[in-house]
Amino acid sequence: MAAGISVESTVFDCPNPRELAEFYGRLLGWDKITGREDFLKLHGPDGVRLAFQRAPDFQPPTWPSGPRPQMLHLDLRVADLDAEHERTLACGAVALGEVQGTSKDGFRVYADPAGHPFCLVTD
């Protein structure tokens, strides 16, 4: 590790920081949100943070290809894709594809409410 450097947070541009912070809070089971309404941080265990900054002209990535390709996405580990699928949709995600691999050894792509792709993954 470089001396004096650590990751503060991963920051998402979005039109509505509160909506996105609350979505990821529901999805991950994290409930501490701090900051201003135009820049909010969601605090997880062991100092992990996701941040959400207002970008009024935000346009979501076009996945899997298109004029605005994704630049970054989260892989979120789960024990069973099938077991987490309905809960992920109930939190506000949209499924972008079918399970790749199996429910116990694969991944599935979703979009959050602002349109950022993310994956649920298993071993």
Contact 16, 23 (CB under 8 A): no
pLDDT per residue as tens digits for the range 12-44:
999 999 999 999 999 999 999 999 999 999 999
Instruction: Please write the tens of the pLDDT for every residue from 68-89.
Output: 988 889 999 999 999 999 999 9
The per-residue pLDDT of the chain, averaged, comes to 94
Please identify which residue in the block is written with the tokens 């630049």: 71
Confidence (pLDDT) at 69: 85
Please check the confidence at residue 110 and state whether its pLDDT lies above 80: yes
Q: Which domains does the chain have, with CATH numbers?
A: 8-57 (3.30.720.120), 59-123 (3.10.180.10)
CA distance 84 to 79: 8
pLDDT for position 39: 98
pTM metric for this prediction: 0.91
For the cut 80, the answer to whether the pLDDT of residue 3 exceeds it is no
Q: For 87-107, give the secondary structure using H, E and C.
A: HHHHHCCEECCCCEECCCCEE
